[in-house]
């Protein structure tokens, strides 16, 4: 039987290693592709001041099943002019996408699958006959513009992270047919067996995530103030994530029962989750947070056996496996306290659906989907 995914090249404008959730998700997906005996190659720009040695990336993400990693030159004005950061990024991404697609595709045979989450790379791959998989994680006018230009493409598969996000675009019938909704996931091998979670620290609450999103604070001050309330003095809040300078600044205004751990590796952050009783989903109000987010940490919280306090956004209401979700009103300390105290009285409810949200299962679903689009029987995995 013909196999569609023999070799996969993931070409992206992301950087590695990085604390950002999107970089973590890319690495986990590629590692799980590799575990399916697919020859995986990650290519990204040599930009910024990070350590680009492959062994550093493998250690940073706790990668066990290694795959090929390459960097391409990036001789562009990224981060050169601080007052025009957004323009610099857009311009550099556009120009590097032209260069990288031309460079990489010289050596890519037609039967090799391409994958990216960078819209300009998708745009410049349009003239090649290779099957291209595009991961779409947020709405943007550029994405919508490119989808309209590619409305007749049949060798394109689009992944959306939730149904609301998919429906926010004006997709042609062909792109509608060639799109799939895949929620975010967790890496199962980093977690203990569910049965060990009976040894949790009572009243321990964790928030895991970057303290800045799009260079704006994520309303962590709200959590700090909530845990200063007398009714929550028996709870301990641990905030995990960087940048460390932001964590240090916030720690100065925090109460005694709030601790900042800074950035931790995914493996160490999961250990903190596993020892906790509650996890928190909180974000600022914007279109992505309100409607389109599918947080990796939500699925990690579920896998770690946490009861989850989530700000009452539609995107959170639409998340799967709702038995352990407790909502509170945005900016309302009383609502937050009420939800937390209610969750304390309830047991964690383990769902048989949880296994469907591992990265391994996510990759299986994508491989199955691509095989069916090509008119083949899905491979036995």
Q: How many helices (H) and strands (E) does the chain have?
A: 15, 15
Q: What is the CA radius of gyration of the chain?
A: 21
CB 212 within 8 A of CB 243: yes
Model pLDDT, residue 2: 47
pTM higher than 0.75 for the full model? yes
Given this chain, do its domains 7-185+358-373 and 191-350 carry the same CATH topology?
Answer: yes
Give 195 or 101, the one with higher predicted confidence. 101
User: What are the structure tokens assigned to 321, written together?
Assistant: 């496996």
Q: 86: pLDDT confidence band, cut at 50, 70 and 90?
A: confident
User: Taking a C-beta distance cutoff of 8 angstroms, is the pair 259, 238 a contact?
Assistant: yes
Of 351, 15, 357, 381, nearest in space to 183 by CA: 357
129 pLDDT more than 50: yes
pLDDT of residue 160: 97
Kindly list the distances between the CA atom of residue 233 and the CA atoms of 73, 223, 226, 344, in Å, as whole numbers in the listed order: 52, 13, 10, 14
Q: State yes or no: pLDDT of 276 exceeds 90.
A: yes
- pLDDT beyond 50 at 380: no
| pLDDT, the chain, mean | 90
> Does 290 score more than 90 pLDDT?
no
Residues 6+ apart with CB under 8 A from 182: 159, 160, 161, 362, 365, 366
45-54, 114-123, 162-171: the lowest-pLDDT one = 45-54
Chain segment 89-126, per-residue pLDDT in tens: 888 999 999 999 999 999 999 999 999 999 999 999 99
Q: Structurally, what CATH architecture does the domain formed by 7-185+358-373 represent?
A: 3-Layer(aba) Sandwich (3.40)
- Domain covering 191-350 in this structure, CATH number: 3.40.50.2000
Band (229; pLDDT cuts 50, 70, 90): very high
Lowest mean pLDDT among 162-166, 197-201, 300-304: 197-201
- In this prediction, residue 77 carries a pLDDT of 63
Burial 141-163 (b: 16+ CB within 10 A, else e): eebeebbeebeebebbbbbbbbe
Domain boundaries, the chain: 7-185+358-373, 191-350
Q: Quick one: pLDDT at residue 199?
A: 77
- Residues 218 and 285: their CA atoms lie apart, in Å, by 9
Residue 378 clears pLDDT 50, i.e. is over it: no
Query: Phi and psi at residue 332, in whole multiples of 5°?
Result: -105, 105
Question: Which pLDDT belongs to residue 379?
Answer: 45
Half-sphere exposure in the Cβ direction for 100 (13 Å, CA):
32
Residue 186 has pLDDT above 90, yes or no: yes
- What pLDDT sits at residue 214? 53
């Amino acid at each position: 039987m013909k196999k569609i995914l023999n070799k996969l090249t993931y070409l992206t404008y992301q950087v590695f290693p990085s604390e950002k959730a999107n970089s973590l998700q890319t690495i986990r997906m590629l590692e799980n592709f590799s575990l399916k005996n697919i020859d995986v190659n990650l290519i990204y720009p040599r930009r910024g001041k990070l350590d680009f040695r492959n062994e550093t990336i493998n250690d940073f993400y706790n990668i066990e099943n290694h795959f090929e990693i390459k960097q391409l030159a990036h001789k562009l004005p990224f981060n050169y002019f601080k007052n025009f950061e957004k323009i610099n990024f857009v311009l550099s991404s556009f120009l590097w996408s032209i260069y990288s697609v031309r460079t990489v595709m010289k050596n890519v045979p037609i039967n090799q699958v391409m994958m990216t989450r960078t819209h300009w790379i998708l745009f410049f791959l349009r003239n090649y006959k290779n099957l291209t998989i595009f991961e779409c994680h947020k709405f943007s006018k550029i994405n919508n513009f490119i989808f309209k230009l590619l409305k007749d493409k049949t060798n394109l598969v689009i992944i959306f992270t939730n149904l609301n996000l998919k429906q926010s675009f004006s997709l042609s019938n062909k792109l509608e047919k060639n799109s799939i909704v895949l929620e975010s996931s967790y890496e199962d091998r980093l977690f203990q067996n569910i049965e060990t979670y009976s040894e949790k620290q009572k009243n321990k609450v964790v928030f895991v995530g970057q303290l800045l999103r799009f260079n704006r604070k994520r309303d962590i001050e709200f959590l700090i103030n909530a845990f200063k309330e007398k009714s929550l003095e028996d709870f301990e809040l641990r905030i995990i994530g960087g940048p460390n300078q932001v964590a240090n600044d916030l720690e100065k205004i925090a109460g005694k029962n709030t601790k900042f751990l800074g950035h931790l590796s995914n493996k160490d952050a999961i250990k903190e989750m596993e020892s906790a009783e509650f996890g928190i989903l909180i974000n600022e109000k914007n279109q992505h947070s309100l409607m389109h987010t599918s947080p990796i940490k939500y699925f990690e919280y579920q896998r770690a056996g946490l009861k989850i306090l989530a700000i009452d956004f539609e995107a959170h209401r639409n998340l799967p496996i709702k038995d352990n979700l407790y909502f509170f009103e945005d900016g309302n300390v009383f609502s937050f306290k009420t939800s937390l105290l209610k969750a304390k009285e309830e047991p964690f409810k383990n769902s048989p659906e949880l296994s469907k949200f591992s990265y391994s299962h996510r990759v299986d679903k994508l491989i199955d989907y691509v095989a069916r689009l090509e008119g083949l029987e899905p491979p036995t995995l």
